[in-house]
Amino acid sequence: MPDALIPDTTWQRLAAEARGAAEKAYAPYSRFQVGAALLCADGTVVTGCNVENASYGLTICAERNAVAAAVAQGHRDFRAIVVVSPNGVTPCGACRQVLSEFAPAMPVRLLSKSGKVTDTSVGALLPSSFGKQDLG
């Protein structure tokens, strides 16, 4: 399914799922709630939210939680991800690397709570990435 074939209704569904996930975020320290909705090849949508910890370094981002949950459900072929945050930020470096492992060219839509939309891709966010192709 090429990027251009992802219909608006699917993007809207992903946005709604990501917003719902953001509401479940466990972010008592930063108060920065993030939700992600990952579209799998079979149409399944798997969500994730950020989960913080009193030991700050153990915090896991919404995007990585979505990928981990999807893989645990048997999905490895991803077609798109929507990330909702208070101000529509881009994924952190760790999440870019994890997304690139499974879907190096996947479209990424970033949404702010106020409705700002930014469309990009994993490839644009992580150019010249290290990946499984480098391991021979």
Residue 21 sits in the site that holds Zn ion (CB under 5 A): no
Residues 99 and 79: beta-carbon distance below 8 Å: no
DSSP structural state of residue 86: S
State which residue has the least CB distance to Zn ion.
61
Site string for Zn ion, 27-66 (x = CB under 5 A): ----------------------------------x-----
Site string for Zn ion, 70-109 (x = CB under 5 A): ----------------------x--x--------------
DSSP string of 111-125, one letter each residue: EETT--EEEEEHHHH
In the complex, minimum distance from the CB of residue 64 to Zn ion, in angstroms, rounded to a whole number: 6
The residue among 10 and 129 lying less far from Zn ion, judged by its C-beta, is 129
63 tagged catalytic: yes
